[in-house]
Amino acid sequence: MKRCPKCSRTFPNDNQKFCTIDGGLLVADQPFDPNATFRASAPLTPPSSSPPPAPPVAPRPPTQPSGSGQPDFGATIATSSSAPTAVLPKQTGPTGARTIVDQSAPPAPSAPLPQQPRAPLPQNTPSIPIPPPQAKKKSKMPLIIGILLLLLVLGVGAVAALFFLVIKPRLNEVRSAEPVTTRPTNKENTNTNSNTSVAKEEPKTEPEFVAPPNTVKFTNSQANLDGKLAEHYLDFSFYYPQDWQTDPKAGTPGANNFAKVERRLPPDFTQENFAVGWYTSKGTFAADESTFPQLVQGLSNTLANGFPEYQKVSEGPTKVNSLDGYEFRFTSVSKGTEKGDIKVWGRVIFLPTGVAGEQTGATLIMLATSLAPELSGIDDVGAKGQAPVILESFRFGKKP
């Protein structure tokens, strides 16, 4: 007889190899031990809705005579739908009576049966293992920023150390050596500059003017002067063309100008003229610079009353030979003359003597008209025609 180790069913056919219920491999059943008490286990129900077929009932072997002491193999294993019950043979007593063991009763404590392993239940769907969560990669940016900051701090420290250990000591050495090497040079430069400025302020430093032919020299004199002209007398001289005419009123009592010469077109039309007046000065251009705009405004207002259609066109610093001065220029029109409408161009220069402390400066007044063929505009006054020789030869003399 063979037995299924899974469901514990027995099969009488020794040639049968597999269980007809669960397909398990059948094994030969061990000889029955009459001294062991066991409990038949209920067959497992396969995972299907229909009940399992009933196992085949083995034929009952012939009954042994009572009192033989051999096990009764004719015991019947009864099954029911509610609780299977197995009637197992027991050793007969002297009377030959059989002991029927109900499966529902608890087994004897003397010999418990080992539990049979249960077949694993099939699963509908295979379980898919869930992969472990991957750890997030840490960003390297904080590390890079930290390295850059460290390099920056180290660089600043290196630069500071270089400055305090190398550059600053050398600067201190250079500064400590400067007074010894440069002070004499500075004194010499200061003396040279002061001498140069004095030389510029001396009127006699002007180069000697070589008079061209057909010119006449004018030298100012205070013999016939009175009033303001005598009070603000200036020693000066210039050369002018010999065909120019002098104004007999200039340089006389009550006159406004020290000198006045003019180039005329007959009978009495001005082509060019040149006059020398005076203004209150402090001697140098730098000292008079703040007062020049006021002087321009005052004299410009006076000229506007005497010249028709007067218009000031420019003002600013200028030069007369080596001396610094300040000038303004203007235009006017004389209409309805015998020569028609005549354009008038004027130029006024305030010229200090260049000597500090001198209280009088010269006012040079130049006029030109469109009747002079060499002139065509305001920029030609004192630069073209016959008047340039006067400016080139103008020199301050020594005040007595």
- Stated as kind and residue range, the H or E segment containing 349 is strand 340-351
> Cα–Cα distance between 139 and 133 in angstroms, integer?
18
Concatenating the DSSP letter of every residue in 90-145 gives: ----TT-------TTSPPPTTSPPPPPPPPPPPPSSPPPPPPPPPPPPPPSHHHHH
- Higher-pLDDT residue of 396 and 82 is 396
pLDDT(195) > 60: no
The predicted pLDDT at position 143 comes to 85
The predicted pLDDT at position 171 comes to 77
- Higher-pLDDT residue of 296 and 195 is 296
| Residue-wise pLDDT tens digits, 9-26 | 888 888 888 888 888 888
The predicted pLDDT at position 301 comes to 95
- Higher-pLDDT residue of 343 and 8 is 343
The predicted pLDDT at position 137 comes to 66
- Higher-pLDDT residue of 188 and 145 is 145
Question: Can you list the domains of the chain with their CATH numbers?
Answer: 204-396 (3.40.1000.10)
CB atoms within 10 A of CB 271: 22
The predicted pLDDT at position 389 comes to 95
> Cα–Cα distance between 125 and 128 in angstroms, integer?
9
> Cα–Cα distance between 256 and 396 in angstroms, integer?
19
Token pair for 336: 């309805």
Residues whose CB falls within 8 Å of the CB of residue 95, separated by 6 or more in sequence, listed in order = 66
| Residue-wise pLDDT tens digits, 254-303 | 888 999 999 999 888 999 999 999 999 999 999 999 999 999 999 999 99
Kindly report which listed range (156-170, 201-215, 274-288) carries the lowest average pLDDT score.
Answer: 201-215
Residues whose CB falls within 8 Å of the CB of residue 118, separated by 6 or more in sequence, listed in order = 44
> Cα–Cα distance between 237 and 217 in angstroms, integer?
7
> Cα–Cα distance between 194 and 188 in angstroms, integer?
10
Contacts 24+ apart (CB under 8 A), 323-327: 323/285, 323/351, 323/352, 323/353, 323/354, 323/396, 324/285, 324/352, 324/354, 325/285, 325/349, 325/350, 325/351, 325/352, 326/285, 326/288, 326/289, 326/292, 326/295, 326/296, 326/350
The predicted pLDDT at position 245 comes to 94
pLDDT(72) > 50: no
SS3 44: coil
The predicted pLDDT at position 344 comes to 96
| Residue-wise pLDDT tens digits, 74-85 | 443 343 344 444
**Amino acid letter, 148:** L
| Average pLDDT score over the chain | 76
Q: Which residues are bridge partners to 327 per DSSP?
A: 316, 349
